[in-house]
Amino acid sequence: MPEMQLSTELIGRLRINEARLANLRERLVVTDNNMIDEFRKISEQVRDINVEMKEIKNDLFKLRETLKEVVNEMSSFARSSEIKVLEKYINTWNPLNFVTEKEVLNLIKNVKPEIKDR
């Protein structure tokens, strides 16, 4: 009888170990599936990031080209010394005191009667 009890106990332990092994296999399958899903998600994110990086590189290249054009255009701008010379001429001439053509014609019309009166 002790041998039967021993074999029953061994069979019980074997079944417990088989159940544990089955649980471990199921967990392994679930873990593998989760890892595969995560790998796919990460791969897709990496692809998206690469696309965005290409777009950023293109934008940066365009920005650099635009800045080069702006710098080239700036070389044709007037310098402050040239502006100061123009400012001196404008202040000397004082264009606000210039007379328009209409004002001259009105003055001539007004002066004619005065000349006739003399």
Q: Tell the residue number behind the tokens 């009890």, with chain if given.
A: 5
Do 21 and 53 lie in a common domain?
A: yes
Residue 109 is predicted with a pLDDT of 85
Question: 66-93: per-residue pLDDT in tens?
Answer: 999 999 998 888 888 999 998 888 888 8
How many structural domains does the chain have? Answer: 2
Provide the pLDDT confidence category of residue 1 given band limits of 50, 70 and 90.
low
Is 0.75 surpassed by the pTM of this model?
no
- As a whole number of angstroms, the distance between CA 1 and CA 9 comes to 12
Do 6 and 59 lie in a common domain?
A: yes
Domain enclosing residue 24, as ranges: 1-77
